[in-house]
Amino acid sequence: MPDNAARLLYAGIIGDTGRFKYSSTSSHTFEVANVAQTEDAIDVAQARLAAYVYEHLTIDENGAAYVILTNEVIKDLKLGDDSTSSVVPLPGNIGEVVAWAIFVQQKEGNYRIRLRSKGPSINELAKEHDGGGHALASGAKASDDDEIKQVVQQLSEVVKQYKKENN
């Protein structure tokens, strides 16, 4: 399997299974992930993208986090926007982060939003922004900076409400 295919397969498995934490994760999931991980080798551009995500991740007082990957950033790192899927699970490695959004600018200027969560349901938020998905892994769209700000605020409120109900 080509490295790029293995990397994308593994990133998809990680995202869709919540880093193997969702109840739908099976022994077959682990077998496929093992094959993909064995085949996968991270290149310098992917390592730099991961560093960029960690360096530029904004985390609010509620535990909502986000990062914006503009066309300029993607171009500077010599990546395509399809290469950004590998960094989607990274904010979840930070203990204080409860839910997060990664905004990936598209060539047309709008943004693809990748939403992930460790607890609060985020699919209703995704639906409000021309998206959908599962309770803990969803996708949406933002047309401009104003909509990005709106999504960030809504995500923070979702996390705040979740913490209030579960503490």
- The CATH code of the domain that includes 156 is 3.10.310.30
Distance CA 15, CA 133 (A): 12
Strand partners, 103: 68, 113
Both 93 and 29 in one domain: the answer is no
Tell me: do 32 and 69 sit in the same domain: no
The predicted model scores a pTM of 0.78
Same domain, 60 and 135: yes
Write the pLDDT tens digit of every residue in 38-88: 655 677 888 899 999 999 999 999 999 999 999 999 999 988 767 888 899
Distances (CA, A) of 58 to 3, 16, 69, 135: 30, 23, 13, 22
Q: Is residue 56 domain-shared with residue 73, that is, in the same domain?
A: yes
Cα-Cα-Cα-Cα dihedral sign, residues 128, 57, 79, 42: negative
- Angle (CA) 8-13-19 rounded to 5° is 125
Q: Please indicate, yes or no, whether residues 133 and 161 belong to a single structural domain of this protein.
A: yes
For residues 72 and 106, state if they share a domain: yes
Residues 107-162: tens digit of each pLDDT = 999 999 999 999 999 999 999 999 999 999 999 999 999 999 999 999 999 999 99
Are residues 73 and 24 part of one domain?
Answer: no
Q: Are strands 111-117 and 137-142 parallel, antiparallel or unpaired?
A: antiparallel
Number of domains in the chain: 2
93 and 143 share a domain? yes
- Same domain, residue pair 9 and 85: no
Within this chain, do residues 86 and 158 fall inside the same structural domain, yes or no? yes
Enclosing domain of residue 78: 43-166
Is 48 found in the same domain as 36?
no
- Same domain? 142 vs 98: yes
